Amino acid sequence: MARMPPIAKIATHVALDRTFDYLIPEPLAGSIALGSRVLVPFGRSQATGFVVGLVERSDRTDLKSILALTDPHPLLDEPLLELARWIAGYYCATLEQVLRALLPAPVRKAGSGFKAQLTVRHARERAADVADALSDKQRAVMERLWTAGPQLLQALARELGITAAPIQALRRKGWVVVAEETVERTPLSRRTLLPTEPLQLEVEQAAAVAMIKAATGVGGSEVSAATASSAAQPPGVILLHGVTGSGKTEVYLQGIAGALAAGRGAIVLVPEIALTPQTIERFVARFGEQVAVLHSHLSEGERHDEWHRIRSGAARIVVGARSAVFAPVRPLGMIVVDEEHEPSYKQEDVPRYNARDVAVMRGRIEGCLVVLGSATPSLESWNNAAKGKYRLASLPRRVDNRRMPAIRIVDMRINAERVGHVSVFSKELMQGIHERLARAEQIILFLNRRGFATSLVCPKCGFRAECDQCSVAVTYHRQDDRLRCHLCGQSRAVPAKCPQCADPAFKYGGFGTQRVETIVKKCFPKARAVRMDTDATGTKGAHDRILGDFRAGKIDILIGTQMIAKGLDFPNVTLVGVISADQSLHMPDFRAAERTYQLLAQVAGRAGRGTVSGEVIVQTYTPHHPAMQAVRRNDFTGFCDMESEFRRELRYPPFARLTCVTFRGASESRVLFYAETISKKMAAAAGEQVRVADACPAPIARVKGVFRFQLMLRAGSVRAMTVPLREILRDHPPPKDVKVAVDVDAISLL
């Protein structure tokens, strides 16, 4: 066996942007590897850390030794460490922060006795000097280990009638190794599902599957999986652009089956919101016990177990949200990112990574195929396909020749004129609901705003009730008759009269899902209508229960926020009503039109997925907006062309890279002063290639009493911005009461 380098570089949570050198003690030499988690002396106490490098020499001479290995196997390996280093560099985070994101909390915390049990095994063979070197109790422990082999720590202590102290002392002296041994527990309960067979593919689906198989080295050619990864041609990225209902999932399933046949596993990322039982079932029904699920609704124990099932190879396919991109599938054949345009792939906390882009990078590092799928790809991915960086596979039709739903845009200005006041429902939508109810078909009503009324407005003086702590209007919630801030969650009673002019005739402006529900129940008293939004699904399981009832036909009308826009496949839904398409259009964000198109196309995609064709009624006050018109014509390409022109002209992504730096603090003047300082220094340092905006208040200028300012940077490359920015922030650190957040490839600009 090759000799182990004697020194390990360790990243700990204690120190930020650096690693520390430690000696690897003789007993641990054989068991420590890159990615191992270890216990080290740190200052006057101890810390756990990860081995992120193994070297021959250190600059320091006073090195301390690693105390113990906390896990029997490394939790990370070299390709994942390389990915972590890339994320840290690209997204301006520290390696330790990235390593935290890489491992689910219950796996990281396992050292604290959680689920896993501690096992003691001897690290030194029986020796003559035992009697001199060890106490009686310690000797007893060693004798037991030498004769009986590894023992569970608790059982060993109980049996010998000792505490854990002598065992820990032995560990420190290098006589024993204490490690975690995972205890196999009841796996995630899975409903008994009828296994599904691969479907007979449509022509376009077959072409997409063939493209995937060719890229993963299976399919027709004689290339084996092993040679495929080392072949000159890396598998690269395929953008699967398939209209809603075109059968993208079946393409993923058959592509994965190919990877499995070649001895490789797969990761499937879906947006958290789309991680419904329905989505998971489609994978479990095809691949059974080989599927592991990773998302935040699992209990800690479940997440811990699922992760270890993946690491051990028992589960070869992972279906999960954002962080599942780090799942330790070995060897990895492909990563699928479904609904790749979804903003929720971006983590809004450090490290601020985008799981889609991390997937692409992981694919490059590990030589595995990445498939990005969407009915409405992001302009970034679309542009990469146009440039030939990604290959494009298109599914332009729904399966079985089902028709795309007919989309009607209803001009609410005309409607208001006709009925003499602003109303929630147009005549067309009312009519449509009536017809569907009469035919026992189902209806989805979509409104991306929860609550009852969006604001409380005084018709006399124009006063609008806002949150005391945040610069946004509060929303009226009828259930508990309170005004609630959707940013900080604080609520308060409705004032009896206007606080500004004391007029008692307060008026509710705008409307949310609760108000829609009230109207529906009044107008269609016999219909079974249910609302689904974060207010209605607070209790665990409510979400699944409502969808189950809807599927079973126990609900006629489902009213909801974007929670119901994604990935649901209900064949009996023939009408989708979009109550107000304008909200997302008026967001202060250059992606507003793109978001609106995506949202409308996704919601519309819920209609007519069965044999009866569907209809979508979109109510809007801006019917001629290009995004509305493109949705009506189902013309994604046309929309992209138009939108690209605008982005190119103004140098917005994807034609430039964007970094958003946010400054926050309780003192408005101090935050602004610091933001302006950084802005000026950036402008001076970065030169021509970087566009540095003036520091200005964020669109939401105050949250929970904290002031927020923004600095937008744009350039041809990320490094052109982050290299000087990091230097400036290091040389001019913020005052204590100001916080800085650097968001590379920012998605949310609020």
| Residues that bind ligand ADP in the complex, under the rule CB under 6 A | 199-202, 205, 242, 244-250, 399-400, 569
Shortest distance in whole angstroms from residue 11 CB to ligand ADP: 40
Instruction: Choose the one of ligand ADP, Zn ion, none that binds residue 276, judging by a C-beta under 5 to 8 angstroms depending on kind.
Output: none
Q: Which is nearer to ligand ADP, 115 or 286 (CB)?
A: 286
Shortest distance in whole angstroms from residue 248 CB to ligand ADP: 4
Cβ 576 vs Cβ 603: under 8 Å: yes
User: What is the rounded CA–CA span in Å between residue 144 and residue 140?
Assistant: 6
Shortest distance in whole angstroms from residue 518 CB to Zn ion: 25
Q: Which is nearer to Zn ion, 280 or 456 (CB)?
A: 456
- 349 exposure class (CB count in 10 Å sphere: 0-12, 13-18, 19+): exposed
User: What is the rounded CA–CA span in Å between residue 244 and residue 68?
Assistant: 53
Instruction: Choose the one of ligand ADP, Zn ion, none that binds residue 727, judging by a C-beta under 5 to 8 angstroms depending on kind.
Output: none
Q: Which is nearer to ligand ADP, 87 or 370 (CB)?
A: 370
Instruction: Choose the one of Zn ion, ligand ADP, none that binds residue 467, judging by a C-beta under 5 to 8 angstroms depending on kind.
Output: Zn ion
Instruction: Choose the one of ligand ADP, Zn ion, none that binds residue 469, judging by a C-beta under 5 to 8 angstroms depending on kind.
Output: Zn ion
| Closest C-alpha among 269, 508, 236 to residue 369 | 236
Strand partners, 180: 118
The verdict on whether omega for the bond into residue 235 sits within 30 degrees of 0, i.e. cis, is no
| Side chain identity, residue 726 | R
Shortest distance in whole angstroms from residue 456 CB to Zn ion: 14
Instruction: Choose the one of ligand ADP, Zn ion, none that binds residue 724, judging by a C-beta under 5 to 8 angstroms depending on kind.
Output: none
Where along the sequence are the contacts to Zn ion (CB under 5 A)? Answer: 467, 469-470, 485, 487-488
Instruction: Choose the one of ligand ADP, Zn ion, none that binds residue 248, judging by a C-beta under 5 to 8 angstroms depending on kind.
Output: ligand ADP
Planar angle of CA 664, 91, 78, nearest 5 degrees: 140
Token pair 């009230």: residue: 518
Taken in order 710, 715, 719, 725, the sign of the CA dihedral is negative
Instruction: Choose the one of ligand ADP, Zn ion, none that binds residue 246, judging by a C-beta under 5 to 8 angstroms depending on kind.
Output: ligand ADP
Shortest distance in whole angstroms from residue 251 CB to ligand ADP: 8
Instruction: Choose the one of Zn ion, ligand ADP, none that binds residue 225, judging by a C-beta under 5 to 8 angstroms depending on kind.
Output: none
| Closest C-alpha among 356, 408, 379 to residue 637 | 379
Q: Which is nearer to ligand ADP, 198 or 499 (CB)?
A: 198
Instruction: Choose the one of ligand ADP, Zn ion, none that binds residue 569, judging by a C-beta under 5 to 8 angstroms depending on kind.
Output: ligand ADP
In the complex, residue closest to ligand ADP by CB:
247
Tell me 745's DSSP state: T
Cβ 151 vs Cβ 43: under 8 Å: no
Shortest distance in whole angstroms from residue 206 CB to ligand ADP: 9
User: What is the rounded CA–CA span in Å between residue 103 and residue 91?
Assistant: 18
Instruction: Choose the one of Zn ion, ligand ADP, none that binds residue 201, judging by a C-beta under 5 to 8 angstroms depending on kind.
Output: ligand ADP
Shortest distance in whole angstroms from residue 279 CB to ligand ADP: 9
Planar angle of CA 16, 21, 24, nearest 5 degrees: 135
Q: Which is nearer to Zn ion, 469 or 629 (CB)?
A: 469
Q: Which is nearer to ligand ADP, 102 or 568 (CB)?
A: 568
- How is 365-383 classified by DSSP, letter by letter? HHT-EEEEEESS--HHHHH
Shortest distance in whole angstroms from residue 523 CB to ligand ADP: 31
Shortest distance in whole angstroms from residue 665 CB to ligand ADP: 45
Inter-CA distances, 568 with 275, 376, 530, 552, Å: 10, 16, 16, 14
Token pair 């309960």: residue: 189
Q: Which is nearer to ligand ADP, 245 or 614 (CB)?
A: 245
The sheet carrying 317-320 orders its strands as: 291-294, 317-320, 265-269, 332-338, 369-374, 237-242, 391-395
Shortest distance in whole angstroms from residue 332 CB to ligand ADP: 23
Q: Which is nearer to Zn ion, 471 or 583 (CB)?
A: 471
Q: Which is nearer to ligand ADP, 21 or 569 (CB)?
A: 569
Shortest distance in whole angstroms from residue 510 CB to Zn ion: 17
Instruction: Choose the one of Zn ion, ligand ADP, none that binds residue 692, judging by a C-beta under 5 to 8 angstroms depending on kind.
Output: none
Cβ 174 vs Cβ 67: under 8 Å: no
Shortest distance in whole angstroms from residue 493 CB to ligand ADP: 45
Q: Which is nearer to Zn ion, 278 or 491 (CB)?
A: 491
- 647 in helix, strand or coil? helix
Instruction: Choose the one of Zn ion, ligand ADP, none that binds residue 36, judging by a C-beta under 5 to 8 angstroms depending on kind.
Output: none
Instruction: Choose the one of ligand ADP, Zn ion, none that binds residue 37, judging by a C-beta under 5 to 8 angstroms depending on kind.
Output: none
The verdict on whether omega for the bond into residue 724 sits within 30 degrees of 0, i.e. cis, is no
Shortest distance in whole angstroms from residue 376 CB to ligand ADP: 11
User: What is the rounded CA–CA span in Å between residue 711 and residue 694?
Assistant: 6
Q: Which is nearer to Zn ion, 424 or 470 (CB)?
A: 470
Q: Which is nearer to ligand ADP, 106 or 242 (CB)?
A: 242
Q: Which is nearer to ligand ADP, 27 or 377 (CB)?
A: 377
Q: Which is nearer to Zn ion, 423 or 471 (CB)?
A: 471
The verdict on whether omega for the bond into residue 72 sits within 30 degrees of 0, i.e. cis, is no
Exposure letters 249-282 (e unless 16+ CB within 10 A, then b): bbbbbbbbbbbbebebbbbbbbbbbbbbebbbbb
Inter-CA distances, 711 with 478, 743, 744, Å: 39, 10, 12
Instruction: Choose the one of Zn ion, ligand ADP, none that binds residue 488, judging by a C-beta under 5 to 8 angstroms depending on kind.
Output: Zn ion
User: What is the rounded CA–CA span in Å between residue 254 and residue 242?
Assistant: 16
- How is 337-375 classified by DSSP, letter by letter? EETTT-GGGB-SSSS--BHHHHHHHHHHHHT-EEEEEES
Q: Are strands 706-715 and 691-692 parallel, antiparallel or unpaired?
A: antiparallel
Instruction: Choose the one of ligand ADP, Zn ion, none that binds residue 207, judging by a C-beta under 5 to 8 angstroms depending on kind.
Output: none
| Side chain identity, residue 195 | P
Q: Which is nearer to ligand ADP, 112 or 200 (CB)?
A: 200
Q: Are strands 507-509 and 455-457 parallel, antiparallel or unpaired?
A: antiparallel
Shortest distance in whole angstroms from residue 358 CB to Zn ion: 32
Shortest distance in whole angstroms from residue 670 CB to ligand ADP: 50
